[in-house]
Amino acid sequence: MKVVAVLYPGKGHKVEYGDWEGQPIPGSDEGELDLREWIEDQGHEYVVTTAREGDELYQHLQDAEVLITTPFWPVYVTSEVMDQAPNLRAVFVAGVGSDHIDLAEAANRNILVAEQTGSNVVSVAEHAVMCILNLLRNFVPSYKQVVDGEWDIAALAKRAYDLEGKTVGIFGAGQIGQLIASRLKPFDVKMLYYKRTPLSIAEEENFGFRYSYFDDMLDHCDIIIIAAPQTPETKGAFNRDSLSRMKRGAWIVNIARGGIVDRDALVEALEDGHIAGYAGDVWDPEPAPPDHPWRTMPNHMMTPHTAGTTLDAQQTYIDGTRRCLEAFFNGEPVEDIRVIVEDGEIVSGTYSAVQEA
């Protein structure tokens, strides 16, 4: 059996501390998900490439039965890509998020799709809290002053606030949204959440938030964290109208998917000062082109989809990918919690509805 893994370029970087010290980044093409020896010992072929599209990828896919992709360096697995892989039987996401795969077409072709549910929820939740604090405390301009040899306190203080007492909205209260809430609770903030299916009263008490309609969240929140799946319902949910309804001077953190926010509407809202700041780890498309306007819009704190790629998270999603492969090689079912498409049916929504809905 031939397994093709499309991974981000390692570029010679090595892990600096911990168990993998001195080794290539495990989630990169040079680290190969730490799976080569194990896959080849099972008697299978393993090909690793950075080619996300085009002839090089198609050549590898011609006789591939398994494709491994990641949300951080995604292969957009469209029907055209599937046409180039006539023997493809499974797509495994090394990470969380399957919205870069045409799930309906995968179901139509009876291709198994699975991802590593829960593998990076802690990493992403911690990243979100970091972003909130950095935005409110105006950290990036403060750091830049140090690097540039400046010392202008007034220029920094005019945009710096405490988190305590603010109203925080969590758009999508699955596993990640709930972890964010639990980490924000000690900051003595008021928390609202929106979810397709509200949580129980006991769960709300445990996490310290209460249910809110989306429109009410826009009207009342100082900070909104986007932690929902990208679905037809949520794509573009933060458009010109919804952004304009937010409180003047509100902040947004997006650790879900870039397409949930209207690209140009966000730029306009930041340029005219209605939105005070935006921290996003996700883009549309990915990788973002050099001229993407979010790279240069004011008062942003963008990162290149790295929230879920800590070395701890990589260990977890690599272990999960191995379990998927082991089950598949042995003709056994993949664990239900990981499965998105199976036996010609979509059994879970895009981008881990189990975690993020």
In a domain, 301, yes or no: no
Q: Is residue 245 part of a domain?
A: yes
Residue 357 lies in a domain: no
Per the structure, the complete domain to which residue 155 belongs is given by: 121-295
In this prediction, residue 357 has a pLDDT band, given cuts at 50, 70 and 90, of very low
List pLDDT tens digits, range 309-319: 999 999 999 99
| Number of structural domains in the chain | 2
Tens of pLDDT, residue by residue over 86-142, are 999 999 999 998 999 999 999 999 999 999 999 999 999 999 999 999 999 999 999
What is the rounded radius of gyration, in angstroms, for the C-alpha atoms of the chain? Answer: 21
- Rounded to whole angstroms, the Cα distance separating 49 from 60 reads 9
Residues 289 and 197 in one domain: yes
Task: Tell me the C-alpha distance between 101 and 33, whole Å.
Answer: 20
The CATH number covering residue 27 comes to 3.40.50.720
List of long-range contacts for 286-294, beta carbons under 8 Å, 24+ apart? 286/71, 286/72, 286/73, 286/74, 286/258, 287/73, 293/263, 293/264, 293/267, 294/263, 294/266, 294/267
Specify if 300 maps to a domain. no
* Positive or negative: CA dihedral 43, 44, 45, 47: negative
Domain membership of residue 304 (yes or no) is no
Same domain (yes/no): 115, 126: no
Coil vs helix vs strand at 254: strand
- 267 and 333, same domain (yes or no): no
| pTM for the full predicted model | 0.91
Fill in the DSSP letter of residue 228.
-
What is the distance in angstroms between the CA of the first residue and the CA of the last residue of the chain?
Answer: 35
Cβ atoms of 128 and 173 closer than 8 Å: no
CB neighbour burial string for 280-292, b if at least 16 within 10 angstroms, e if fewer: bbbbbebebeeeb
209 and 109 co-located in one domain: no
Q: How confident is the model at residue 13 (pLDDT cuts 50, 70, 90)?
A: very high
Which pLDDT belongs to residue 67? 98
The helix, strand and coil proportions of the chain, stated in percent and rounded to the nearest 5, come to 35, 20, 45
